[in-house]
Structure 1
Amino acid sequence: MSAPAPLRSGSLRRRTIVAVLALVALLLVVLAIVVDVALGARLRGQIEERLRDRAAAAASLVGTVDDTELAERLSYQGLAVRIDGAGGDSVVAGPSPDQLRDAPPGPGGPGVGPGERSTPSSASASGVQVVASDVSGDDQLVTLRSTLSDGSTLTLTASAVGVGETLAQVRGIMAVSSIGVLVLAAGAVTLVVRRSLRPLDQVSSVARAIGSGERERRLRPTRPDTEIGRVATALDDMLDDVVGAERAARDAEGRLRAFLSDAAHELRTPVAGIRAAADTLVRADLDGPERDLLAAHVVREATRASRLVDDLLTMARVDRGLELDRAEVDLRTLVESEVHRAPLVHPSLRIRAELPDAAVRALVDVGRLAQVLSNLVENAARATGGSGTVTVSLRAQGAEAVITVVDDGPGVPPAEAERIFDRLVRLDEGRETSGGVGLGLPIARGIARAHGGEVRNIPTDAGARFDISLPTL
């Protein structure tokens, strides 16, 4: 599996500012192009419109004014005029097209001199009209060729140099304005981005503070529904998980140290007894009852150490995950077997069973569940001094079966109701050889949970009560 790509950690502030300024510059360029094209088209359109107006006015004078005089009148407005009569004669007046390319625009507008945009009153008398018009030209000239109804042709040429000069001025103004806008935008965007990204500085500050030991620092965003709010909330949740995991790890380490210390202490006592008795047996010349007594002591302490080691191994298997050999069984049979076994170990113990009439079937590991029930009965016998009363009952409760073990001993203090399920916890004072090592209840709960059930201590007015709940079929 390939390693994940490293996070790109370039300056977000710089990238945001550059991106915004690039976008603003692009918009300004687009605006300049649109203005240039639209204004250029508008100015050339004005020239063409005025040329058509002059052509219409000239057409109204055809027949009432001599062509030469008409051409002269039109040329006074800064136009190059050519009139081709229907009989083939031509009249030219005004500057040539080459002169118009170099001439400045007239006062009446780009390339067109002053003149009233109106048709003389004699237009109705001539009856000549413009039949067709054709516009041509380049960046410096605009030419209108009009065909009149009497067969003559009127060609008017105007300078468009003023259009280019006007566009050049507008481009300069747009360039200077765009630079000013970019400078102002850069300052404004820098301030806005710096203020907008200030919460990220706070995030990094809190992260460094937590790394330096201030584990309780949090961001606590006021708006968790925003982008930065979601990041801050996720970071707070992660920090809670990390701090909680760290605390849990420390607690687990403390419990492990205490567990190892208690286990070593529990093992030290029988091992020391075995060692002392064995040393005496080897060194001393003993016969008869004394030798048998020491041998019995060795066996008793070895059995105690072996039981502790077995419990530790069982606890380790519970932690790792038990492999259960499940089988369908009637739980009444399991309870009856334990009730019949207990008097063999504790002859003075009064134990009885309360069982339902109908079978209570469950899919369990018979050996492991018998160990749970045996541990609870052994605890009850130990709590009552081996001569008390113990009641083991079974009942079906919905989709669960509940096995209850009740004794008439001193009971469990409410403050210790959960602590007794910790490892190597004993409520009996001292550490007599007859007492347990504090692993029975943790093992019982672990086995029950492996079956999908639970072992609980139920508070009572007298004695102790433990419930084993298991899923039924």
Structure 2
Amino acid sequence: MSEPGLATASLRRRLGLRVLALLAVLLVLLGFTVDLVLGANLRSDLRQRLVDRAEIAQTLVDQGRSDEEVVSAVTGDTVQARLETADGDEVGQIADPPAAPAPGQGPRPGPGVPAPTPGAVLDTGDAYVLRAELSDGSQLTLVADQGPITDAVTQLRWILLLGSAVTLLLAAALVNVAVGSGLRPLGRMTALARSITSGDRGRRLRPDRPHTELGSTAAAFDDMLDELEGAERTARRAEAGMRDLLGDAAHELRTPLAAVQASVETVLRSDPPRDRREELLAGAVRELQRSARLVGDLLDVARLDSGDAPALHRRTSDLLDLARRSADRVGGPVAVTGDPVPADVDPDRVGQVLDNLLRNAVRAAGPAGAVRVQVGRVGEEAQVDVTDDGPGVPADQRERVFDRLVRLDAARGRDGGAGLGLPIARALARAHGGEVSCEPAARGAHFRVRLPVTPLTG
């Protein structure tokens, strides 16, 4: 199941629209809040004005002012007043009176009854009405028109609406510029990617603040480029190694095959004596065996490179006996010493490991040299040490010799091998849970094989 593709809508457009949408929501909330708060404050102020006018009227009555003076003092600023005296006379008029309590309703204060406080303010929708009985028995009706407040709130709403529209238009232009400036690093990344595609592999973004959002993206981009460049170098080395492998394999196979061809042609053409014929055929067999070993090494390398673990057929085997058999197969100046060490291994694969190490040691030691094999046990590991008195392995080459196709100059020669024995030996040892390493040595080379041993039973 393939992964869904990356959404590639314009980032600038998406960011701009989201910022403008957020700004529009904030402006709507601001307008609603201002409208609600201002309208509530204005209406509360108007209601409080009626209460204050009623208190002023009461104060003037207590001072003995005339009814006309009382009405005149409380009229004005959208407030209308009408005073109904205890005798039934009316002073002042209210134009278009709202729905309010009718004059004369409610109890009138009698002798000795305290003066009532101003009554509650009634909201008729278009106006506020307050009806209060004064201390002299008169009734005061105050009406405050809400029309100016409504007009002021409506005008404010239009101002907020137009201001919000202008603000959004200006914000759209500024956000486009700001987002474009903020996305400039992405443009650099795009230009860099295209330059790398054109062949400029060494360029990097190198962000100055790698912990920010764009900085972490740029750092991840640089890391990806480093990995890709490393993978490219590895692939090129592998390709070069494969070419070298094919060239070395062709060279190594051509020599024994040419010797086999020459031996067989000599036997067929000249019909030499029996001793000579057997010598030629024995040489041909040896060269064919050498070719078979090289082909086997190539097959092992191909399987290991493909990631296939070598098949192991384990059984308890004596490593000392396996070392002696390997010494017999390889031949040459090989001395095997040590104690029997049982281990749960594949004897054929361990024998292949030892054969590769002993062949290298015999080649390095030369006809006059010596190769020593020491088998022993250290803790839960078996150790097989292979040493020779050849030219040795430089300290900086002890790990490199386990790379494929690596052959030190001292090992080159007609039978120097293709540089596959040591990598195969290490891979087979690791498949057993062990290791092959090149150890420091005062003289010659020292290779050590470590393998897990069979647990001892009582």
TM-score by length of 2: 0.82
Quick one: which amino acid aligns to residue 335 of structure 2?
A: I
User: Which residue number corresponds to residue 323 of structure 2?
Assistant: 338
Alignment-derived partner of residue 198 in structure 2: 212
Q: Deviations over 1:152-210 (max 9, x none)?
A: 54322222222123224433443454345445544544444333322222222222222
What's the CA shift string for 1:17-74, capped at 9, x where partnerless?
3222322232222222222222222222222222222223334555956767755765
Q: Is residue 3 of structure 2 the alignment partner of residue 15 of structure 1?
A: no
Match of 1:468, SS state, is strand
Comparing 382-391 and 237-246, the one that deviates more:
382-391
Instruction: Give the CA deviation at 1:92.
Output: 6.3
Cα distance between partner residues in 2 of 1:243 and 1:181: 50
Deviates further, 225-234 or 310-319: 310-319
Tell me the distance in 2 between the aligned counterparts of 1:56 and 1:245: 92
Change over 3 Å in CA distance of 1:208–1:350 after alignment to 2 = closer
1:58 corresponds in structure 2 to 57
Q: Residue 315 of structure 2 contacts residue 347 of structure 2 at CA under 8 Å; is this kept in 1? A: yes
The 3-state SS of whatever aligns with 2:19 is helix
Matches of residues 268-347 of structure 1 in structure 2 within 5 Å?
268-282=254-268, 288-319=274-305, 320-329=308-317, 333-339=318-324, 342=327, 346=331
Q: Which residue pairs with 2:124 in the alignment?
A: 137
* Structure 1 Cα separation of the partners of residues 118 and 393 of structure 2: 119
C-alpha distance after superposition, 1:222-258 (max 9, x if no partner): 2222111211121111111111111101100110111
1:243 aligns with 2:229: yes
2:3 matched residue in structure 1: 4
Partner deviation per Cα, 1:69-106 (whole Å, 9 max, x = no partner): 7557655776444445668x46363242279xxxxxxx
Q: Structure 1: 5+ residue runs without aligned partners? A: 100-124
In structure 2, the CA distance between the partners of 1:227 and 1:362, relative to structure 1 (3 Å rule), is farther
The code of the aligned residue for 2:119 comes to A
Instruction: State the 1:312 CA deviation.
Output: 2.2
Partner residue of 1:174? Answer: 160
Deviation at 1:457?
A: 2.2
State the 1:131 CA deviation: 5.3
Deviations for 1:320-378, whole angstroms, at most 9, x for unmatched residues?
A: 3212223455xxx31244236635763x62514144xxx75544323211221232223
Aligned to 1:382: 363
1:297-320 superposed Cα distances (whole Å, 9 cap, x missing partner): 433332222222223223334443
Higher deviation after alignment, 365-374 or 386-395:
386-395
Q: State the partner residue of 1:349.
A: 333
Give the equivalent residue in structure 2 for 1:161. 147
| In structure 2, distance between residues paired with 1:232 and 1:215 | 16
Calculate the TM-score normalised by the size of structure 1: 0.79
Residue ranges of structure 2 left out of the alignment (5+ in a row): 99-111
Aligned length: 437
Cα shift at 1:379: 2.6
Q: Which secondary structure does the structure 2 equivalent of 1:401 belong to?
A: strand
Cα distance in 2 for partners of 1:220, 1:86 equals 94
**Structure 1 pair 233/398, CA: closer, same or farther in 2 (3 Å)?**
farther
Structure 1 pair 41/386, CA: closer, same or farther in 2 (3 Å)? same
Query: Which deviates more, 236-245 or 36-45?
Result: 36-45
Q: Distance in 2 between matches of 1:218 and 1:154?
A: 87
Structure 2 SS opposite 1:132: coil
Q: Secondary structure at the match of 2:141?
A: strand
